[in-house]
């Protein structure tokens, strides 16, 4: 299965994106397709053994659109193209307005008693009057030619779009006016009252204005990507044979030795070889305080070296850097569709043909009822022009673009529109304890030797057994022994028992280090020493039993410090109406002690890593919409199982793969911020869809003359054009309000 992103050119409304999806889905071998009107991109998954990408592109182009393969990110080129398009639209609008303003004055001025220029008299010089209007209209039609080429092409292809509505409406107005101009030339001067040139001119001009404002607004929705792209340095200083040389960033290879001076940006990801400094990683994590770095520490592209000069080895370059992957995640999210968008897509697919039918039926009905062709034409044009699916197509993707971009600014990487939508429905947050609520860096607090065992020897044997363990608690014991200068012994045999502890043979002695369950499984008698462990657990410490040759020799207690921000973050979630649950492999008493410190009321303790996903499933069976928050490594199955998986940390490979949302800072406050952002984004989407649907529900009957039928006003086609243009702009403006979001 292959996936491909295509740049789509020529889309004007949601009917276009729906048409492309429909055409591509029909192709044998295409698994899925999602076309985003706001980003002008199509995401296609297909089976290459059944269909070639070229065939897919040809199908899109046959439908009337241009499809370009995105071989690599072309942000600068993309931005330049969009800026050029905006400039072209503004130029067209200015030219159209220059001819439309005198056209409008000539057509409407006499109705309110204004004098006509050049001494033209509407009735005495009817032909000159009509020809002047025609000549002023032609340049406007000329600058708006794409409405006609695109609109009629789509109509012939039986997939009418917004351009089709504009083309049909204005063509009808112009052709009817040309017909009346011919009547005037033949002596029927009364036909001067049935000219609609100004309607066509004003409609095209107003829609060009709307398109210009829309293009500017759409450009602003992608500012987050532009900011991220602007962070990357363009050059790097490579060190070869002791000589420093500045080279373009594209020429840096993995393994190169690079130098970074104070105040400069780190060019690529790598590991410091020499030097000491503090690095501002706020662009990556959102953390404002610089982080101390020295030999052996990782550095990331686009972070800022604040104090000392360093040399580091390049390890990840180009698209492999953390920044590039973040940009890819944000871009993918902005290009994805939320489930709520499906409703708008379905409506848009049927919308334009239905509008064409309504316009035709309304025009015929009014002509039959009144016998007035000019009046029926007004109705026909008004319905066509006011009904535009642009607002429907932009309602969801623009809000998702701004929402995901705003998340990235806060160090919150939301990987899809679906994740952004689902997050607002959550009612339960499940936190892993170690590394999430706590620092994840446990330290030894107590060493209790039993049965006459020497304390130093107990530590030596326990640490020697745990030295090969990957568990944080085992690593803490080994680290403590090294800090105290205890020489560790080599284990002759070693085995790790998941969720229980370790067994090893050291200097001919059988050492078991683990929890109560392991002691019971190995038939080690605790001899009334459980009370000591209970006391330690009650203090929030994790007791580990140490047995030597089948006899309990002591207890080593390890504590993991609670993060300073955990309690405030959990209280904030509670105030938002969310239930907070802590899940851990620790024993119940230790877990309860930690839960009490941070204000968690429900605890799931003694849960093995492989069982965490099962606990999440049980919560879902209770009817809860649960998010799992973990470090993205041993919590990967639970992150995948939850309604939303939230990986907290520095964006490891596993975290990015297994989670729906990645929090670049290890701060639980960002969980609440994520949910608040989701709620705000969904509220904006619902507002947009309400106004987009509501606008058409009210506008189409009004344009069709329903109110006029009962003595109300009649909608002028020019007002219909203004309303249609403003509907799209209002949806975009509402989405841009999300840029003011504050945590």
Q: Does domain 412-438+563-670 have CATH number 3.40.50.1000?
A: yes
For the chain, percent of residues with pLDDT exceeding 90: 29
What's the token pair of residue 150?
């695109």
At 157, the pLDDT band (50, 70, 90 cuts) reads confident
pLDDT digits (tens, 9 = 90+) for 548-564: 999 999 999 988 788 88
**Residues 388, 721: Cα–Cα separation, whole Å:** 10
Lowest mean pLDDT among 282-296, 586-600, 618-632, 727-741: 282-296
Q: Phi-psi category of 160—alpha, beta or left, where left has phi over 0 and alpha has psi -120 to 50?
A: beta
**Residues 512, 524: Cα–Cα separation, whole Å:** 9
At 651, the pLDDT band (50, 70, 90 cuts) reads very low
**Residues 588, 529: Cα–Cα separation, whole Å:** 17
DSSP secondary structure of 210-224: HHHHHHHHHHHHTHH
Instruction: Quickly tell me which residue has 């964006």 as its tokens.
Output: 651
More confident residue, 573 or 658: 573
Length of the chain counted residue by residue = 743
**Residues 580, 563: Cα–Cα separation, whole Å:** 16
Side-chain-side CA neighbours of 74 within 13 Å: the count stands at 14
For residue 361, is pLDDT > 90?
A: yes
What's the token pair of residue 252?
């840096």
What integer is the mean pLDDT of 426-453?
87
What integer is the mean pLDDT of 378-384?
86
- Those residues whose C-beta lies under 8 Å from the C-beta of residue 113, and which sit 6 or more positions away, are none
Lowest mean pLDDT among 177-181, 448-452, 643-647, 716-720: 716-720
Side-chain-side CA neighbours of 381 within 13 Å: the count stands at 32
* 3.90.105.10, 6.10.140.120, 3.40.1110.10, 3.30.470.20: CATH of 443-559: 3.40.1110.10
More confident residue, 78 or 114: 114
At 274, the pLDDT band (50, 70, 90 cuts) reads very high
Q: What is the CATH architecture assignment of 2-71?
A: 2-Layer Sandwich (3.30)
**Residues 304, 292: Cα–Cα separation, whole Å:** 12
Mean pLDDT, the chain, whole residue set: 85
Q: How big is the chain by its Cα radius of gyration, in Å? A: 34
Strands 501-506 and 491-497, by their bridges, are antiparallel
Which of 194, 258, 219, 167 lies closest to 38, judged by CA? 219
Lowest mean pLDDT among 59-63, 113-117, 615-619: 113-117
**Residues 731, 636: Cα–Cα separation, whole Å:** 38
Exposure class string for 689-728: b at 16+ Cβ within 10 A, else e: bebbbebbeebbbbbbbeebeeeeeebebbbbbbbbbbbb
Cβ–Cβ < 8 Å for 475, 496: no
Side-chain-side CA neighbours of 18 within 13 Å: the count stands at 26
Return the pLDDT at 423: 92
Instruction: Quickly tell me which residue has 């025609």 as its tokens.
Output: 134
Domain spans of the chain, in order of start: 2-71, 79-221, 234-316, 322-411+671-743, 412-438+563-670, 443-559
- Those residues whose C-beta lies under 8 Å from the C-beta of residue 373, and which sit 6 or more positions away, are 176, 367
Cβ–Cβ < 8 Å for 225, 741: no
What's the token pair of residue 445?
């607090």
Across 133-142, 300-309, 370-379, 636-645, the highest mean pLDDT is recorded for 133-142
pLDDT digits (tens, 9 = 90+) for 217-252: 666 666 666 666 667 788 999 999 889 999 998 899
Long-range contacts of 115-122 (CB under 8 A, 24+ apart): 122/192
Instruction: Quickly tell me which residue has 């200097």 as its tokens.
Output: 507
Give the CATH class of 234-316. mainly beta
**Residues 280, 631: Cα–Cα separation, whole Å:** 23
Active-site amino acid positions: 432
């Amino acid at each position: 299965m292959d996936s491909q992103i295509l740049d789509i050119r020529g889309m004007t409304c949601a009917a276009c994106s729906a048409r492309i999806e429909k055409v591509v889905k029909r192709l044998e071998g295409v698994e899925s397709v999602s076309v985003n009107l706001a980003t002008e991109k199509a995401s296609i998954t297909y089976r290459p053994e059944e269909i070639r990408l070229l065939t897919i592109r040809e199908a899109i182009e046959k439908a009337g659109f241009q499809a370009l393969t995105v071989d690599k990110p072309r942000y600068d080129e993309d931005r330049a193209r969009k800026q050029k398009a905006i400039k072209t639209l503004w130029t067209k609008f200015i030219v159209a307005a220059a001819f439309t303003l005198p056209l409008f004055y000539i057509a409407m001025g006499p109705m309110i008693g204004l004098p006509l220029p050049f001494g033209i008299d509407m009735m005495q010089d009817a032909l000159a009057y009509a020809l002047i209007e025609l000549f002023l209209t032609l340049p406007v039609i000329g600058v708006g030619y794409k409405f006609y080429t695109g609109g009629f092409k789509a109509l012939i292809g039986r997939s009418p779009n917004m351009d089709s509505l504009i083309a049909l409406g204005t063509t009808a107005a112009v052709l009817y006016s040309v017909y009346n101009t011919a009547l005037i030339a033949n002596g029927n001067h009364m036909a001067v009252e049935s000219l609609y040139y100004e309607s066509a001119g004003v409609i095209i001009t107003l829609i060009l204005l709307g398109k210009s404002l829309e293009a500017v607004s759409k450009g602003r929705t992608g500012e987050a990507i532009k900011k991220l792209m602007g962070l990357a340095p363009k050059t790097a200083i490579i060190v070869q044979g002791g000589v420093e040389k500045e080279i373009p960033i594209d020429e840096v290879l993995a393994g190169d030795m690079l130098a970074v001076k104070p105040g400069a940006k780190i060019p690529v990801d790598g590991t410091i070889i020499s030097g000491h400094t503090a690095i501002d990683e706020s662009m990556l994590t959102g953390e404002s305080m610089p982080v101390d770095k020295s030999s052996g520490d990782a550095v990331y592209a686009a972070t800022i070296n604040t104090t000392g000069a360093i040399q580091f080895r390049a390890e990840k370059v180009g698209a492999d850097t953390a920044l590039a992957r973040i940009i890819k995640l944000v871009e993918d999210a902005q290009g994805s569709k939320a489930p709520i968008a499906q409703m708008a897509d379905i409506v848009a697919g049927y919308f334009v043909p239905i509008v064409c039918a309504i316009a035709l039926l309304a025009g015929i009905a009014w002509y039959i009822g009144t016998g007035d062709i000019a009046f029926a034409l007004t109705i026909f044009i008004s319905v066509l022009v006011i009904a535009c699916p642009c607002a429907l197509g932009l309602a969801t993707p623009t809000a998702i673009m701004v929402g995901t971009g705003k998340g990235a600014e806060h160090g919150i990487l939301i990987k899809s529109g679906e994740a952004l939508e689902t997050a607002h429905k959550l009612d339960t947050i499940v936190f892993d304890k170690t590394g999430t609520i706590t620092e994840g860096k446990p330290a030894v607090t107590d060493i209790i030797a039993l049965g006459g065992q020497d304390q130093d020897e107990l530590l030596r044997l326990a640490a020697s057994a745990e030295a090969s363990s990957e568990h944080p608690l085992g690593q803490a014991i080994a680290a403590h022994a090294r800090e105290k200068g205890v020489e560790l012994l080599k284990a002759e045999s070693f085995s790790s028992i998941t969720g229980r502890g370790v067994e090893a043979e050291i200097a001919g002695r059988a050492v078991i280090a683990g929890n109560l369950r392991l002691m019971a499984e190995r038939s080690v008698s605790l001899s009334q020493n459980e009370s000591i462990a209970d006391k330690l657990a009650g203090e929030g410490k994790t007791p580990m039993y140490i047995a030597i040759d089948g006899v309990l020799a002591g207890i080593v207690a390890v504590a993991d410090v609670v993060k300073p921000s955990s309690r405030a973050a959990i209280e904030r979630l509670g105030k938002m109406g969310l239930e907070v649950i802590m899940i851990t492999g620790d024993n119940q008493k230790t877990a309860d002690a930690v839960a009490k410190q941070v204000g968690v009321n429900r605890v799931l303790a003694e849960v093995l890593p492989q069982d965490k996903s099962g606990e999440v499933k049980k919560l879902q069976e209770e009817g809860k919409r649960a998010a799992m928050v973990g470090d993205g490594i041993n919590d990967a199955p639970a992150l995948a199982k939850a309604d939303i998986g939230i990986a907290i940390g520095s964006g490891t490979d596993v975290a990015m793969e297994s989670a729906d949302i990645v929090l670049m800072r290890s701060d639980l406050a960002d969980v609440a911020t994520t949910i608040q952002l989701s709620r705000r984004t969904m509220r904006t989407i619902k507002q947009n869809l309400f106004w987009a649907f509501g606008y058409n529900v009210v506008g189409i009957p009004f344009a069709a003359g329903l109110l006029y039928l009962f003595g109300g006003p009649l909608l002028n086609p020019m007002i219909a054009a203004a309303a249609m243009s403003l509907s799209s702009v209002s949806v975009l403006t509402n989405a841009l309000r999300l840029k003011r979001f504050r945590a």
